[in-house]
């Protein structure tokens, strides 16, 4: 079980506050995963304060990482506890946080030493991120090696 940190002020806005209505927030988070096509009925999502816990089975490590990002990049979430089993156990995700003033090309330059790798970053983070102009400070992205 791993835990990943996120910036509480950055991300998708839920209809209900995370801390005051944890059951409704958990249902909305699970609905977000379903809307993004990242999950199935066997996933469990729970909320306690600013921490989200997700459990279930993912077919691939990529799906698991996108699930973690979809849950973590939500306003109010500071931590995601990963209890998702994936077929490629032992692989550790590589996440990077967008800094103030950075474009996707800047992130690609920082991570891959190649600004043209922005297209790769966009593809690696779809459907959580669908547009290179849709990034913002505090957003956490997948950056596979």
88 pLDDT band, cuts 50/70/90, is low
Please give the residue that has the higher pLDDT: either 92 or 129: 129
Average pLDDT over residues 59-85: 92
Give the start-to-end residue ranges of the domains of the chain. Answer: 2-86, 95-142
What is the Cα–Cα distance from 107 to 41, expressed in whole angstroms?
34
CATH of 2-86, one of 1.10.510, 1.10.1060, 3.30.1340, 3.40.50: 3.30.1340
């Amino acid at each position: 079980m791993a835990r990943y940190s996120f910036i509480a002020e950055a991300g998708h806005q839920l209809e209900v506050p995370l801390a005051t209505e944890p059951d409704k927030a958990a249902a909305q988070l699970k609905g977000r995963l379903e809307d993004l096509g990242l999950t199935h009925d066997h996933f469990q999502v729970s909320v306690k304060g600013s921490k989200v816990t997700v459990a279930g089975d993912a077919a691939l490590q990529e799906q698991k990482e996108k699930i973690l990002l979809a849950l973590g990049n939500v306003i109010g979430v500071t931590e995601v506890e990963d209890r998702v089993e994936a077929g490629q156990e032992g692989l550790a995700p590589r996440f990077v946080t967008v800094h103030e003033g950075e474009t996707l090309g800047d992130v690609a330059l920082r991570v891959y030493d190649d600004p043209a790798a922005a297209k790769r970053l966009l593809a690696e983070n779809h459907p959580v991120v669908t547009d290179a102009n849709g990034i913002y400070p505090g957003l956490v992205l997948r950056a596979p090696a």
